Structure 1
Amino acid sequence: MTPELILPHDGVLPVFSARPVWCGRASTVIGDATIGAQAWLGDHSVIRADGNRVTIGERFWLGHRSTVHIATLTYPTLVGDRVTVGRNAVVHACTVGSDVVIEDDVIVLDGAHVEDGVLIEAGATVFPRAHLAAGFAYAGSPAKPVRPISAPEIAERAERLREASGDLPQPPPADELEPEPGIFVARTARLRGRVALGAGAGVLFSCDLHAEVGPIVVGANTNIQDNSVVRTRGEGVVLGRDTTIGHNVRLADCRIGARSLIGIGCVVAPGTVVGDDVLLAAGATTDPGQLLDGGHLWGGRPARILGALDSNKRTMMARVVEGYVAHGRAYRAAQEALS
């Protein structure tokens, strides 16, 4: 069993208001995070406060393989009391009130504000800077109010979600991998089969790369962020250089070009080919065999062209890559210091 991993960032360690806090196997908490009493962090969950703060209230529940993160120097993540987050969800650089339920596979994006007493139903995407008013259930992409909801129903949905989060099956042992200099592989990540990592590549916390049949090839300076899953059951996965795979992304037997960004929570179907210089918006999906031409912003379910990839977006994507190469150096040093 892999124990939890608690690491500093810029010399700052997480603060737990009360211990013990339940930390599931291979869960990770990093940096300027403050977590209230009676917290429960599921297996392979990640809370990463590296470049801004995460402040979480009492009785917080974070489901298996879910991720809480910030936007560096832009948005912290602030969470109230009695918040329940389901499995494979992402709470990213936003503000969440108290008595909120965020169900499985939900994505809450930068600058969003979720008021008290809100239910976000499974699979919804809360778009950047959206405002979710109190007292409603929200669904869809973008998330929209679908009906009023009462406090007792919110409490019941939270209890149901927690009961459904049984233990995950224990994975088989990962292949032994001794990263080359300049490569970062988190201790809580699992790499199995033929996985090749280019110079400066990073595989973040609780990622699962399983080359069951074909290989997984990761280009130089490409980062695969927390809780992403890459699996091959056919020809394999190839990721070009200087590319970002966001939090909680799922990839299967696909090709992704250089200098691209696959947004938070995307699902890339087998046979997909993504060209160079593509931005696939958070929460998007592709159809099997779909071709995403380079030089465009794509989004939707299934993905379609939303516009040209302008210079501002290209600059943002390059900065993400630079930032994650730096994160990789810092986190490798922090892990080695624990040895």
Structure 2
Amino acid sequence: MTPELILPYDGVLPEFISRPVWCGRGSTAIGAVRLGSQAWIGDDGVIRADGQPVTLGDRFWLGHRSTVHIATFTHGTTVGDRVTVGRNSVVHACTVGSDVVIEDDVVILDGASIGDGAVIEAGATVFPRAQLAGGFVYAGSPAKPQRPIDRAEIDERAERLREAAGDPAPVAAGDPPEVEDTVYVASTARVRGRVSLGAGSSVLFSCDLHAEVGPILVGADTNIQDNTVIRTRGEGVVIGRDTTIGHNVRIGDSRIGARSLIGIGASVAPGTVIADDVMLAAGSTTDPGQLLEGGYLWGGRPARILAPLDAEKRAMMVRIVEGYCEHGREYRKAEAGRG
């Protein structure tokens, strides 16, 4: 079988060395992806090569709601053979060796390199450009070596992770939202309840926006990236314009200002107020009711001020917004062409 959604990018379609063993509902492959033999892609697994290549070795296992992506201007992603990725993890613009186990809720960031025979434990964050030698267990944020590990234990942990995957609880698809022509909502995304999407905004692959109680209001030209989950159980969520919400972010009832960036795998707790012009680092969390002042890079668990936002970071945030406006137009056209 093949992924539920396959799209070209810049005229290039994914290449499968052989038909994957399994592809779950909402699974997606885009662009210059090369997927080895005997692959397994879980529900809402997203592999997206839109600007750089993604090369995945034989017997690659991608757990439910996990994402593999690239950095458009700088890094592709290369993964060796017999690599197992758990649930809700992100493998982003990095190099991963063979016989590696990446457990649940892990974030691996741009330019990082992981050697053969490593285990990245649940909840860890591998910081940009980190060089992790093979043969060790890593944990924490940033991920640090804990102890050596042998091949027998690596195989056992990979098998345990695959067995624990099981079948996720079914999620109601809901009716497609009514949006204007400039808005892109991926066909594998789920948007339910009172959700308003501003002009030029985009909701990427396998995102789940569920306005259970209060509304979800998304500003113009804001992008919400793959496998992000936004749920309201109180007053609702408001996201300002020209903002980026990264891959696999979790957002409860909160306010997020304009021109901000919420990094990969971050978690925004209910009651959080994020001002305009904030960058929240990948893998960070906020405390309920926390206020993040504008003009700063915040990071940590819970988030604290790390540095002022300099001109380089502000320019990068603008480039991401512009790039995703273009992606939205291209994906909308590509999905329309499938019909």
Task: Output the TM-score relative to the length of structure 2.
Answer: 0.99
* Contact kept in structure 1, 2:117 and 2:151, CA below 8 Å: yes
Aligned length: 337
- Give 1:54's aligned residue: 54
Letter in 2 for 1:114: I
CA RMSD of aligned residues (A): 0.7
**Alignment pair present for 1:153 and 2:157:** no
Cα drift, residue 278 of structure 1? 0.2
* Contact kept in structure 2, 1:175 and 1:193, CA below 8 Å: no
- Give 1:91's aligned residue: 91
Specify the SS of the correspondent of 2:210: strand
Q: 1:154-194: CA deviations, max 9, x gaps? A: 00000000000111122123123233111000000000000
* Contact kept in structure 1, 2:208 and 2:227, CA below 8 Å: yes
Letter in 2 for 1:171: V
Cα drift, residue 100 of structure 1? 0.1
- Give 1:317's aligned residue: 317
After TM superposition, the structure 1 = structure 2 runs for residues 108-187 of structure 1, keeping only pairs within 5 Å, are: 108-187=108-187
Specify the SS of the correspondent of 2:152: helix
- Give 1:332's aligned residue: 332
Relative distance call for 1:20 and 1:142 in structure 2 (3 A) is: closer
Rounded Cα–Cα distance in structure 2 between residues aligned with 1:20 and 1:239: 38
Letter in 1 for 2:29: V
Rounded Cα–Cα distance in structure 1 between residues aligned with 2:161 and 2:19: 24
Q: 1:120-160: CA deviations, max 9, x gaps? A: 00000000000110110000000000001011000000000
Rounded Cα–Cα distance in structure 1 between residues aligned with 2:166 and 2:10: 35
Rounded Cα–Cα distance in structure 1 between residues aligned with 2:294 and 2:176: 36
After TM superposition, the structure 1 = structure 2 runs for residues 70-81 of structure 1, keeping only pairs within 5 Å, are: 70-81=70-81
Rounded Cα–Cα distance in structure 2 between residues aligned with 1:300 and 1:170: 33
Q: 1:232-264: CA deviations, max 9, x gaps? A: 000000000000000000000000000000000
- Give 1:14's aligned residue: 14
Specify the SS of the correspondent of 1:312: helix
Relative distance call for 1:17 and 1:43 in structure 2 (3 A) is: same
Specify the SS of the correspondent of 1:58: coil
- Give 1:290's aligned residue: 290
Q: Which moved more, 1:277-286 or 1:176-185?
A: 176-185
- Give 1:32's aligned residue: 32
Q: Which moved more, 1:37-46 or 1:18-27?
A: 18-27
Relative distance call for 1:15 and 1:327 in structure 2 (3 A) is: same
- Give 1:212's aligned residue: 212
Question: Which stretches of structure 1, 4 residues or longer, exceed 2 Å deviation after superposition?
Answer: none
- Give 1:65's aligned residue: 65
* Contact kept in structure 2, 1:100 and 1:117, CA below 8 Å: yes
Rounded Cα–Cα distance in structure 2 between residues aligned with 1:146 and 1:166: 28
Rounded Cα–Cα distance in structure 1 between residues aligned with 2:175 and 2:304: 38
Identity of aligned residues (%): 73
- Give 1:226's aligned residue: 226
Cα drift, residue 20 of structure 1? 4.2
Cα drift, residue 73 of structure 1? 2.6
* Contact kept in structure 2, 1:115 and 1:134, CA below 8 Å: yes
* Contact kept in structure 2, 1:96 and 1:114, CA below 8 Å: yes
Letter in 2 for 1:222: T
